Amino acid sequence: MKERSQPPLRLTPHYSNQLLGYLLATHLIALLTVITVVRPWWFAVGLVVVTLFSLIHSYQRHLQYRGKNTLRSAEINGQNEWRIQQADGAEVAAQLQSNSYIHPRLSVLNFRNEQGRRQSLVLLPDGIDAAIFRRLRVRLKMQQSA
């Protein structure tokens, strides 16, 4: 029996308050740990600076979609081939990696583009249309079982 072709599915995430909460919570825990545990003080200050830099970088990359290696959107066509759009507008072919995480509360799609670069797209329920998010999860589950 011939497999039915699926309609294309375009994933264009937008700002997610849940992701902002996760970023703030994890970085705050890291800062508190550094402040209370790390000695000498100059090393702790260095780790605080690195942690704050990480927060700013993560915010710009995953919530503002800015940066050199940032994905803006992804599209899967009827033949299950992926195209990803980078923040600079360039669109390239990519393969979805098997280490991607798919869950109703959080999905992380890991790609390897045609140049061999690894890129990720983080999706939370409040950062993408609910119907598209559900279709994506169902489609990827069907691919896994096939």
pLDDT tens digit sequence for 62-105:
999 998 889 999 999 988 899 999 988 899 999 999 999 999 99
Residues 76, 128 within the same domain: yes
Residues 81, 131 within the same domain: yes
Q: Count of H helices and E strands in the chain?
A: 3, 6
* Domain count within the chain: 2
Answer whether residue 1 is part of any domain: no
* Token couple for 2: 């011939």
Residues 53, 83 within the same domain: no
Answer whether residue 92 is part of any domain: yes
Residue 75 to residue 87: CA distance in whole angstroms: 14
Indicate if the pLDDT at residue 132 is higher than 50. Answer: yes
Answer whether residue 89 is part of any domain: yes
Residues 57, 80 within the same domain: no
Domain that holds residue 104: 70-145
Residues 40, 23 within the same domain: yes
Indicate if the pLDDT at residue 3 is higher than 60. Answer: no
* Token couple for 90: 């360039």
Residues 99, 74 within the same domain: yes
Residue 139 to residue 34: CA distance in whole angstroms: 42
Mean pLDDT of the chain: 92
Residue 93: phi and psi, rounded to 5, are -75, 150
Residue 38 to residue 23: CA distance in whole angstroms: 22
Specify the pLDDT at position 121: 94
Specify the pLDDT at position 1: 42
Residues 56, 112 within the same domain: no
Q: What is the DSSP letter of 84?
A: E
Specify the pLDDT at position 102: 92
Last residue of a domain, one of 28, 62, 96: 62
Answer whether residue 7 is part of any domain: no
Residue 38 to residue 18: CA distance in whole angstroms: 29
Residues 87, 134 within the same domain: yes
**pTM reported for the whole predicted model:** 0.87
Q: What is the DSSP letter of 131?
A: H
Answer whether residue 4 is part of any domain: no
What value does the mean pLDDT take over residues 106-129?
94
Residue 45 to residue 28: CA distance in whole angstroms: 14
Cα-trace Rg, the chain: 18
**Nearest to residue 19, comparing CAs of 122, 98, 118, 101?**
122
What value does the mean pLDDT take over residues 106-131?
94
Residues 95, 54 within the same domain: no
Specify the pLDDT at position 142: 84
Specify the pLDDT at position 35: 95
